[in-house]
A = this chain, B = another copy of it.
Amino acid sequence: MEEVILLEEEINELLEKKDYHRLKEILSDMNEADIAAIIAEIPEDKLPLVYRILPKELASDVFVNMDSDAQEILIKAFSDKELREVLDELYVDDAVDIIEEMPATVVKRILQHTDPEVRNSINEILKYPEDSAGSIMTIEYVDLKKYMTVDDAFTRIRRTGVDKETIYVCYVTDENRKLLGLVTVKDLLLSDKSKKMFEIMETNVIYVTTLEDKEIVADKFQRYDLMAIPVVDQEHRLVGIVTFDDAMDVLQEENTEDIEKMAAITPTDKPYLKMGVFETWKKRFPWLLLLMVSATFTGKIIQNFENALQAQIVLTSFIPMLMDTGGNCGGQASVTIIRGLSLGDIDYKDVFKVVFKEFRVAFLCGVTLALASFIKLMLIDKVGLMVALTVCATMIITIICAKFVGSTLPILAKRVGFDPAVMASPFITTIVDAISLIVYFEVAGIILHV
């Protein structure tokens, strides 16, 4: 990253000095992803200039790697010829990604300049629901027929492979495009040249259907270590493939979504700096409101015990510590369980194992934290023994409740079909706050008779 920042400065300098020759030299030596990252930082008006300096082979690769704002600027600056050149080099799935981010007028211009066949494919993919396997697939795969020999297969790969997103996994289909099996280039290279596809193909193919969620695509890549996965329609006809690099992107998006949900934010796939203020507010406000309203119940509990607090005002000062510790304990448990569920380490059937384990962990945490508190309360705060006992007993009970709530709610949410990620710290905290206060005042009633 450091290098990239240094290069950025050098490139800006060369731009100032209009030393385009040296600029071209430097850029030609770089990787397309790095160039795209640097170009994103160049002033808008100079963007088309820098882009045009790039050698043609590199230019369209850089284009794919740029963010949509930069792409839009370029498309608007392109002549029709330039636009067509870039579009010709794009894979269909990349074209779809670009189109999805562009305003309508730009989309229209793009579609006008793609050739009709590709345009149809783009429109097909655009029809699939957002987040479906169909929406992220590409149609550029190598398809082979059952009776082709290894030699035939190589001929076909050599003839058509240059435009395919991967050639390493080829799919064998019948005359109705139904998926029969797959053959890897490794199989082809290690097989006798006269062998037929049906002799060497793997028929036990892992696939997804067009309408399945893209999360399932990412899960299957993870589970089966795939390089590509075929996407079939309801009639088991092969319509496209998803390659591992796109699956990796899906994986990252899903992780981001989970993390956002855990922080009580409506997920979005826009990078932070690209989101407007109002849009950001819309993703955050409803959750804050819901949690705020829930938290007022906690206030009600305090109101009910106002007399107890009036009698022992010192109790008030331990409320934040008890609530925070409970919330943190519950949050730890819930986040661990949510992640375990999402990685497939934990299942509904494990609920008793989980609860039993969390109970023991909670007991350990509770006793050790209460002990630490007790020492501090007696030696530093110098409160009365009974007050210290009230606080410590509350702490142990609260922590056990918190770990119980934190570990069971995500599993139950998943069981009834909700996203467990929502049952993370913010919600658990709100519930545990109420629990900790009720416990606190009940314990205070018993020990301190307030």
Contact = CB atoms under 8 A, between A and B. Distances in A.
Contacts of A260: 335-336, 339
A327 interface: yes
A339 B206 CA distance: 32
Given A272-B336, A331-B426, A345-B271, A316 B317 contact: no
Contacts of A190: 158, 161-162
B244 A227 contact: yes
A248 B300 CA distance: 48
A83 interface: no
Interface residues of A, number: 109
A292 B372 contact: yes
Contacts of A426: 328, 331, 425
A262 B264 contact: no
Interface in A278-329: 278, 280-281, 284-285, 287-289, 291-293, 295-296, 298-300, 302-303, 306, 309-310, 313-314, 316-321, 323-325, 327-329
A99 interface: no
A295 to B, nearest CB: 4
A174 B350 CA distance: 54
Contact of A425 (B263, B293, B320, B361): B263
Contacts of A335: 259-260, 262-263, 265
A265 B357 CA distance: 16
A277 B361 contact: yes
Copies in the complex: 2
A271 B353 CA distance: 14
Nearest to A158: B189
Contact of A272 (B259, B331, B340): B340
Interface stretch (A129-137, A230-238, A249-257): A249-257
A192 B109 CA distance: 39
A421 to B, nearest CB: 10
A127 interface: no
A365 interface: yes
Interface stretch (A100-108, A118-126, A218-226): A218-226
A166 to B, nearest CB: 9
Contacts of A223: 33
Contacts of A251: 248, 251-252
Contact of A346 (B245, B263, B273, B354): B273
Contacts of A287: 328, 332
B361 A288 contact: no
Contact of A295 (B225, B263, B277, B320): B320
Contacts of A332: 263-265, 284, 287-288
A176 interface: no
Nearest to A336: B272
Nearest to A276: B357
A198 interface: no
A258 B263 CA distance: 13
B263 A336 contact: yes
B168 A339 contact: no
Interface in A139-182: 154, 157-158, 161-162, 167-168
A128 B158 CA distance: 41
Interface string A420-436: 00001110011001000
A450 interface: no
Contacts of A345: 271-273
A337 interface: yes
10 contacts: A161-B186, A222-B249, A244-B244, A259-B259, A259-B262, A273-B357, A281-B365, A288-B332, A292-B328, A302-B320
A-B residue pairs, 7 tightest by C-beta: A263-B335, A298-B320, A299-B317, A225-B245, A271-B345, A295-B321, A272-B340
